[in-house]
Amino acid sequence: MSSASASEACEFNYIIIGDSGVGKSCLLLQFVDNRFQPVHDTTIGVEFGKKMITIDNIPIMLRIWDTAGKERFFSITTSYYRNAAVALLVYDITRRGTFEHIASWLEDARRFGHVNMKIMLVGNKCDMPARKRAVSTEQGEQFAKENGLTFMETSCKTAYNVDEAFIKTASTVLMKARNGEFDASSEVRTTLIN
């Protein structure tokens, strides 16, 4: 995809990764259906959602895989890394352990994903009272900076920055596709839709 025109459309694959209970399924639900579901069953394997967005007058279908955060489903979820243009690496700002596990999730994304996969670190549940915060915004920003990631805090409850996380990463992927960093003609991460 050297130059996308208004008559073209794109399809980008996303994977949402992170520990169980950080709000990955809520992030997907808020983005796709514009709703918050405070109680959600634990994801078994992988859940899927999709949504059409428009960037630079180009329709882009985002195909999003929400993965289980449990180790026993690891073999199922690793196959989804290969076809992902974007990984949203999510932790819960109120649970320090979920942030401490981010390095391991990042290692998996880099090991199993495409070399040009866009990775965004997402600190979720920023609507929670400050007294419950276990990871500061600055700590998230620092980890992202040290590892070459973009960073954003979100709230699935209020929808704060949820759309922005997906749109910002899709914009980056579109730019990479235009620059030839993704091969749109292969099974890879960007697909032209006629």
Element (H, E) at 191: strand 190-193
Residues in the chain predicted with pLDDT less than 70, given as ranges, are 1-8, 38-47, 68-79, 183-194
Per-residue pLDDT, 7 = 52
Per-residue pLDDT, 83 = 84
Dist CA 99 CA 103 (whole Å): 8
Q: At what angle do helices 24-33 and 162-178 cross, to 10 degrees?
A: 80
- Looking at domain 10-177, what is its CATH homologous superfamily? P-loop containing nucleotide triphosphate hydrolases (3.40.50.300)
Domain ranges across the chain: 10-177
User: What are the pLDDT digits (tens) for 146-179?
Assistant: 999 999 999 999 999 999 999 999 999 998 888 8
Per-residue pLDDT, 89 = 97
Task: Give residues with Cβ within 8 angstroms of 53, minimum separation 6.
Answer: 59, 60, 62, 166, 167, 170
